[in-house]
Chain A
Amino acid sequence: MTVLVVLLLAAGLFFHAVAALGVLRLPDFYTRLHAVSKAETLGMLFTLAAIIVWIGPSLTAVKVALVGVFVFMATPTSAHAIGRAALRTGLKPWRRRGGSP
Chain B
Amino acid sequence: MRIEDAFLGVTVALLGLVLVYLFRVAVGPTVFDRILGVSALGTTTTIILLLVGVLYDRIELFVDLSLAYALLSFVGALAAARYFEQTGDR
Contacts and interface: CB of A to CB of B under 8 A. Distances in A.
Interface of A: 2, 5-6, 9, 12-13, 16-17, 19-20, 23-24, 29, 32-33, 36, 40, 43-44, 47-48, 51, 54-55, 60, 63-64, 66-67, 70-71, 74-75, 77-79, 81-82, 84-86, 88-91
Nearest to A16: B17
A16 B44 contact: yes
Contacts of A86: 30, 32, 89
A79 B78 CA distance: 9
A86 B36 CA distance: 11
B67 A91 contact: no
Contacts of A77: 74, 78
Contact of B50 (A20, A29, A64, A74): A64
Contact of B36 (A36, A63, A66, A84): A36
A85 B81 contact: yes
